[in-house]
Copies of this chain bind each other. A is one copy, B any other.
Amino acid sequence: MKGNFRDLYLIGLCLLLIFSGVTCAGLFTKTPAPEIDPGFCMECHQRVTPGLFQSWVESKHAKKGVHCMTCHIDHQAAFEQKSMVFPDKCGECHPQQLEEFKKSRHSIGWDRMRGQGEYLGIPQEIRTAFCERCHIVQKRCNSCHTSHRFSLKESREPESCGSCHLGPDHPHKEMYETSLHGIIYKLTQNPERAPRCVTCHMPGGTHNSSFGIARGPVGTRSVVVDLKEIPISKEEIARRREEMLGICTGCHSRRFAKEQMDNADQVKEEAFILQEKGKEVIRDIEKEDLLYPSLTERMPHPTEGRTMVLADPQLYIGTSHIERLFFTMFKFHNIRVWKSGYHFSPAYTHGYGWSEMQMDLIEIQEESKKLIELFKEKKK
């Protein structure tokens, strides 16, 4: 009975549309949102994209009357924007979150990517399939808040962060999962037993995910900069370290937490010293003009020009083999050592980090010796 009634309703709706002169084509003319009945979207999308529809039905948005047009404006706008909804739109209802988000590095993700040598050096297809999928976080709140369910519970789980923060050059997900923090959380699913990513990096739900990050002069030698590339002061760094220690002391004694942080600072310094040894060997080789291809034989660096770039923003394309060995050393292994120092993953600090760096150095030294033996006489 209910089904039959519904069918009649649908037929009636169609007749109404036809006789009122509204055709499907008409939908693509720019009509202000409020004049379109939200129920209208449902009629089609319930059938053509049922998964998407069902996610929305179960969302808090649906319960509060936030419907398709609230975010997508109208069918024409949605079509033109490929259904994207930008943070400013979300901020109309969630102003505090937008404001906090704009203080985080997430909010400059896309712009920073567009200026990076690595991005500039690869085909557009790979950019689309790789870089842009994550860096679009600047333009999409649904990078973390999966559409159209927008579940708070889901977005707070480590898996959400891990959709981008993983892989050879920033294995935050892997480091967390192999730390006691991650293991206890996996066992208990209880954020009061062990921290999740958001516990330390977005405490109290702040959308400024740069909270408490105090990388920098304390044992590092790399300068921490703010969103405008201005170096952050020692005082600010010290303040952020205190912020983070304030989180640790929820479970640990301040003494213990500070010891762990201090040790991580020193781990970072040790790894930096080791990395620099690799750099020195390669600089000597470059002075002897033994790089193949040489700096003049290769494409110039997209942002740095015709110079040898070791460590950021070094590329992995078209360089010499000895530089490529250093790329692995600094980009994959050094980063694992020090980042897992702060994330407490012994396997990544040493097994996937420190020991690999030592082996990289052996390889770099061997390559240097071979290059000298093979080509130095010739150059003379």
Interface 1/0 per residue, A294-335 and B, CB below 8 Å: 000000000000000000000011111100100110000000
A129-B347 contact given A253-B49, A316-B359, CB 8 Å threshold: no
Task: List chain B residues, Cβ under 8 A from A50.
Answer: 250-251
8 Å CB contact of A347 from B160, B166, B183 = B166
Given A126-B270, A349-B126: A82 touches B188 (CB 8 Å cut-off): no
A51 interface residue (CB < 8 Å to B): yes
Do the beta carbons of A256 and B362 come within 8 Å of each other?
Answer: no
Chain B residues whose CB sits within 8 angstroms of the CB of A375 once the complex forms: 373
Say how far A337's CB is from chain B's closest CB, in angstroms.
Answer: 8
Query: Interface on chain A toward B: helix, strand, loop, or mixed SS?
Result: helix
CB-based nearest B residue for A319: B362
For residue A38, CB closer than 8 A to chain B, the reply is no
Q: How many copies does the complex hold?
A: 3
Tell me, yes or no, whether A292 is within 8 Å of chain B by CB.
yes
Question: Which of B164, B168, B193, B370 contacts A149 (CB under 8 A)?
Answer: B193
CB distance from A253 to the nearest CB of B (A): 7
Q: Which residues of B contact A359 (CB under 8 A)?
A: 316, 324, 327-328
A66 vs B158: C-alpha distance in the bound complex, in angstroms? 34
> Which residues of B lie under 8 Å from residue A284 when comparing CB positions?
none
Since A123-B266, A126-B270, A168-B347 are in contact, a sample of 14 more A-B pairs with Cβ atoms closer than 8 Å, ordered by chain A residue number, is A82-B255, A125-B267, A126-B350, A129-B344, A130-B350, A131-B350, A154-B187, A159-B187, A163-B180, A166-B178, A167-B346, A167-B350, A169-B351, A316-B362
